[in-house]
Amino acid sequence: MLRTILSVLFLSILLSATLFAQEPEKRYSIEEVTVRTRRPMKEIGVQKTTIDTLALKDNIALSMADVLTFNSSIFVKSFGRATLSTV
């Protein structure tokens, strides 16, 4: 019992010493920044991916779902070869 109390006391002293070892918080002031853009509202949040004709020619034997899967960030759920695929 005494050993447990001493262990807890030792750990609490050890952990409290690390609290005082922290550096004081430093704050820096920076100048104001203005951000301007001319992007249309309809394009905000839209990611465009263009697939060139070379990629289409290389994958001529594949389905459109396979072309989209390999050449874009689209996830296509495929239900087997030459069957239904959903985006």
pLDDT at 87 over 80: no
How far are the Cα atoms of 18, 33, 55, 58 from residue 62, in angstroms, in the given order? 62, 49, 11, 9
What DSSP line would sit under 41-71, residue for residue?
Answer: GGGTT-------HHHHHHTTTS-HHHHHHHH
Q: What is the pLDDT of residues 9-60, one digit of tens each?
A: 888 877 765 565 566 777 788 899 998 878 777 777 777 888 888 888 887 7
Q: What pLDDT score does 20 carry?
A: 58
Q: What pLDDT score does 26 carry?
A: 78
Q: What pLDDT score does 18 carry?
A: 58
